[in-house]
């Protein structure tokens, strides 16, 4: 088993940018990922990525992937990472269900996954009307009434996508006021297709074979909404359970310094899996670049 300079875990904006920088540094490295694009692939309209006044999430991911291919990056995709382990004080192992990759450094850029609502019926109706991706599943609900659960940017983005598709959208937010970017809020509130229900708690998702409605606690009473689709957009949790020997915060995010170093020398992390507060595509990309530059500096000092 050859010893690589670095294994990059994940191929979202952080992992892809890290790979481009690593290729330019002529490092001996590998990218291991379950998918390409991460949360970006689930985004609808992206209007705040420098260089593009407007681009969809899928289009931006295609640009990222094209950039990777230009450098001939070694990529193991459709490959989930099961565990990252310390092999010695200066080497690590990235383990998948079928292979083990040894490396001097590792960059954890594994991103995040959608947070579950934990309402009655959520699991029973998953993929039967309950979805966590408006970009992926929105077209299935053309001309139907749907509910979007959440009040932040991910929920607002889902609403703006569904305005073009659905008949009516209920935006169900447990908080007294919507969060997210002001520009997105204004667009949502301007649509006559959207009804916002603040201070509403989703208690149950119900139906027969497929979703037929949701039950809310709202304004001291119970309200039922007849909907065919439920888009759960209440944030996400970090994919940090693959590594257990570095410091994490209460949210499970990997704690990094301003050089993207984790608490164990040789381990770096970047993007939404870390405790860097702003979960944005452009921030993750910048953090990926910083992480590789840190790796390069670390390896240079080792040799």
Average the pLDDT over 128-142 and give the result. Answer: 90
Average the pLDDT over 91-115 and give the result. Answer: 96
Asked if residue 92 has pLDDT above 70, the reply is yes
- Say which range, 49-58, 88-97, 261-270, has the weakest mean pLDDT: 49-58
Sequence-distant (6+) residues with CB within 8 A of 283 are 276
Please check whether residue 118 is in contact with residue 174, taking contact to mean a CB–CB distance below 8 angstroms. no
Residues involved in catalysis: 133, 136-137
Average the pLDDT over 118-128 and give the result. Answer: 94
- Backbone angles phi and psi of 301, in degrees to 5: -75, -25
Asked if residue 289 has pLDDT above 90, the reply is yes
Q: β-strand 100-108 against 3-9: which pairing, if any?
A: parallel
Kindly report the average pLDDT of the chain as a whole number.
94
pLDDT of residue 254: 98
Sorted by where each begins, the domain ranges of the chain are 3-113+236-302, 116-232
Outline where DSSP puts E strands in the chain.
3-9, 29-32, 45-46, 55-56, 75-76, 83-86, 92-95, 100-108, 112-114, 130-131, 145-149, 168-173, 194-198, 200-207, 211-218, 221-225, 229-232, 236-238, 267-269
Asked if residue 105 has pLDDT above 70, the reply is yes
pLDDT of residue 127: 87
Local confidence band at 1 (pLDDT 50, 70, 90 cut-offs): low
Domain spanning 116-232, CATH class: alpha beta
Asked if residue 45 has pLDDT above 90, the reply is no
- Right CATH number for 3-113+236-302 from 3.50.50.60, 3.40.50.970, 3.30.930.10, 3.40.50.300? 3.50.50.60
Tell me the two tokens of residue 302.
């080792």
Handedness of CA 26, 31, 36, 38 (dihedral sign): negative
Residue showing tokens 């420098």: 50
CA 236 to chain centroid: 7
pLDDT of residue 43: 72
- pTM of model > 0.75: yes
* Model confidence pLDDT, tens digit, residues 208-255: 999 999 999 999 999 999 999 999 999 889 999 999 999 999 999 999
For the chain, the helix, strand and coil percentages under 3-state DSSP, each to the nearest 5 = 30, 30, 40
pLDDT of residue 54: 87
Local confidence band at 273 (pLDDT 50, 70, 90 cut-offs): very high
3-113+236-302 and 116-232 in the same fold: yes
Asked if residue 134 has pLDDT above 90, the reply is no
């Amino acid at each position: 088993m050859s010893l690589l300079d670095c294994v990059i875990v994940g191929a979202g904006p952080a992992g892809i940018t890290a790979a481009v920088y690593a290729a330019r540094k002529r490092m001996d490295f590998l990218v291991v990922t379950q998918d390409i694009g991460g949360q970006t692939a689930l985004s609808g309209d992206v209007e705040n990525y420098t260089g593009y006044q407007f681009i969809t999430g899928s289009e931006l991911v295609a640009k990222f992937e094209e950039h990777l291919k230009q450098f001939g990056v070694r990529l193991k995709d459709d490959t989930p990472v099961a565990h990252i382990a310390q092999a010695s004080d200066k080497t690590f192992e990235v383990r998948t269900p079928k292979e083990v990759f040894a490396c001097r450094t590792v960059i954890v850029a594994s991103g995040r996954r959608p947070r579950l609502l934990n309402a009655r019926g959520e699991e029973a109706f998953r993929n039967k009307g309950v979805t966590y991706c408006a970009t992926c599943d929105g077209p299935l609900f053309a001309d139907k009434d749907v509910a979007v659960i959440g009040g932040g940017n991910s929920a607002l983005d889902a609403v703006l996508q569904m305005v073009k598709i659905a008949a009516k959208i209920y935006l169900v937010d447990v908080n007294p006021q919507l969060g997210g970017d002001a520009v997105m809020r204004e667009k949502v509130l301007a649509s006559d297709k959207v009804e916002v229900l603040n201070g509403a708690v989703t208690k149950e998702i119900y139906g027969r074979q497929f979703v037929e409605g949701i039950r809310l606690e709202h304004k001291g009473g119970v309200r039922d909404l007849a909907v065919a689709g439920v888009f759960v957009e209440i944030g996400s949790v970090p994919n940090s359970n693959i590594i257990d020997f570095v410091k994490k915060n209460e949210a499970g995010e990997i704690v990094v310094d301003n050089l993207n170093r984790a608490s164990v020398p040789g381990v770096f992390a970047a993007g939404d899996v870390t405790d860097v507060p702003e979960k944005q595509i452009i921030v993750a990309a910048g953090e990926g670049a910083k992480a590789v530059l840190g790796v390069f500096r670390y390896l240079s000092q080792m040799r």
